[in-house]
Amino acid sequence: MAKLILGIVGEMGSGKGSIVKHVEQNYNAGTHKFSQILRDILDRIYIEQSRESITTLSLILRKNFGEDVLAKSMYHDVYNDAHDIVAIDGVRRLEDIAYLRELPNFKLIYIDADMETCYERLIKRGENAGDSMKTFDEFKRDHLADADARIVDMKNYAQYVVENNSTFSDLYKQVDDIIKQNI
């Protein structure tokens, strides 16, 4: 069996992390996150992991080393991952999957969720500094930032669209069905 590689794309708070955690816990999958390389760098240089600092660092790296700099790194991480199933959190743009699509059995999953639902999830989890204090208007403005502006377009390139406005059980069933179809 070829390694199954699941690229997970969706707007902030759509449920990407929940899917990745489910696949890791229930299928012994390897997991990777596009933002992790940025978070590692920020930690190393002692800068807070805010959405703004992550976005700024991403822009600097892409401007100086090419739009595909993170995609190349992710490709190698996934290629070298020994797990039979690999889940990638945080695909955001077409450049992110340019190399991953070259790997056999790569599947892009788009998570569709209402903006209000995503906002409530973002506030509740508080993953990045300042997220739990964000207003709904600020949340909507964040969707216009370079890091998030092209996410919706990725739906056009996805092999699967998962609806996530309901329960974890409903979400996980959809993901389980996708995995069963591909292993």
Into how many domains does the chain fold?
Answer: 1
Residue-wise DSSP of 39-95: HHHHHHTT---BHHHHHHHHHHHHHHH-TTHHHHHHHHHHHH--SSEEEEEEE-SHH
At 145 the pLDDT is 64
Tokens of residue 124, six digits: 């509740």
Which domain does 70 fall in, by range? Answer: 4-182
Quick count: other Cβ atoms within 10 Å of Cβ 23?
26
Alpha-carbon radius of gyration of the chain: 16
Rounded Cα distance, 8 and 135, in Å:
26
At 126 the pLDDT is 61
Provide the whole-model pTM: 0.84
Quick count: other Cβ atoms within 10 Å of Cβ 161?
13
Using a pLDDT cut of 70, give the percent of the chain over it: 88
pLDDT confidence tier of residue 140, bands split at 50, 70 and 90: low
pLDDT confidence tier of residue 127, bands split at 50, 70 and 90: low
Contact 138, 51 (CB under 8 A): no
Which CATH number fits the domain that encloses residue 110?
A: 3.40.50.300
At 107 the pLDDT is 97
The answer, yes or no, to whether residue 119 has pLDDT greater than 60, is yes
At 60 the pLDDT is 96
